[in-house]
Amino acid sequence: MSDARKPSTQDARLEQVFGGPLDQLHQRAVRPGSSPALVRALELRAFLALAEAQVVRVRDRVHAAMSPDAELDSLSSDTLRFDAEWLEAALAGRTGYRIALEKLLSAMPPPAARPPAAPLQVRSAVVGSGLRPAPTGAEDVAAARGR
């Protein structure tokens, strides 16, 4: 599972604010003309998911070391101090990403107040029509100079 698809504690909030399931939001984010706020929110969400996975990994390692079946001879205060530092760093990262994501999401207008997305302009191809394409501004200038 890629980091972008790991679950995070803010998934439901993102789905609520942007009005769709996470898979759909990821699809919308890669389309041309996608909302910069959506792209940024999903990027922050991926960072948050990674930080949360780090917190869980360190927590589980400490729990395993402290479990009742663990060998007393395997306990090391140095290792636990190191894990405490890692946990502190992971929690600080998680907190920072949550704050940044919350600031972004709270700045978003409610879904009903947002303007609809601009329609994509689709150009149809005319094959074999024999029509020349419309001249560009540069071609007009060149033609005027040649006269």
At which residue do the structure tokens 């329609």 appear?
Answer: 119
Q: DSSP letter for 68, please.
A: T
Burial 124-137 (b: 16+ CB within 10 A, else e): eeeeeeeeeeeeee
Cβ burial, residue 17 (10 Å; 0-12/13-18/19+): buried
Q: What is the pLDDT of residue 7?
A: 93
Q: How many CA atoms lie within 13 A of 57 on its CB side?
A: 9
Q: Which region, left, alpha or beta, applies to residue 128 given φ > 0 means left and ψ of -120 to 50 means alpha?
A: left
Q: What is the pLDDT of residue 109?
A: 76
3-state secondary structure of 91: helix
Q: What is the pLDDT of residues 3-40, one digit of tens each?
A: 557 899 999 999 999 999 999 999 999 999 999 999 99
CA distances from residue 100 to 4, 70, 130, 133 in whole angstroms, order as listed: 17, 39, 55, 48
Q: What is the pLDDT of residue 143?
A: 53
**Alpha-carbon span 7 to 60, nearest angstrom:** 17
Q: What is the pLDDT of residue 114?
A: 54
Give the global pTM: 0.70
- Counting as low any pLDDT under 70, the low residues of the chain are 1-4, 110-147
Q: What is the pLDDT of residue 6?
A: 87
